[in-house]
Amino acid sequence: MKTGQKTEKQFSFKILNRRSRLPFSFSATRWPFFLFPGLTLVLLSFALLDQAVVLDKAARPAWLVTISKHLTDITTAPWILSVTFVLACICFAASENITDVRKRWRALVCGYQSAYLFAAVALASASANIIKNLLGRGRPSQFDVSGIFNFQPGGWVYDYASFPSGHSTAAGAVFMALALLKPRLAPGFISLAIFFAFARVAVGAHYPSDIVAGLFYGAWVSTFTACLFAHYRLVFEISKARWPLARW
Q: What is the pLDDT of residues 52-104, one digit of tens each?
A: 999 888 788 888 888 888 888 787 889 999 999 999 999 999 988 888 888 89
How far is 62 from 165, CA to CA, in rounded Å?
23
Q: Across all residues in the chain, what is the average pLDDT?
A: 88
> Band of the pLDDT at 22, cuts 50, 70, 90?
low
> pLDDT of 185-211, one tens digit each?
999 999 999 999 999 999 999 999 999
Nearest one of 167, 146, 178 to 214, comparing CA atoms:
167
Give the burial string for 12-49 (b: 16+ CB within 10 Å, else e): eeebeeeebebeeeeebbbeeebeeebeebbeebbeeb
> pLDDT of 122-138, one tens digit each?
999 999 999 999 999 99
Q: According to the model, what pLDDT value does residue 6 have?
A: 45
Q: Other CB atoms closer than 10 Å to residue 217's CB: what's the count? A: 23
> Band of the pLDDT at 30, cuts 50, 70, 90?
very high
Residues with Cβ within 8 Å of 62's Cβ and at least 6 positions away in sequence, in order, are none
Say what the pTM is.
Answer: 0.89
Nearest one of 179, 210, 181 to 197, comparing CA atoms:
210
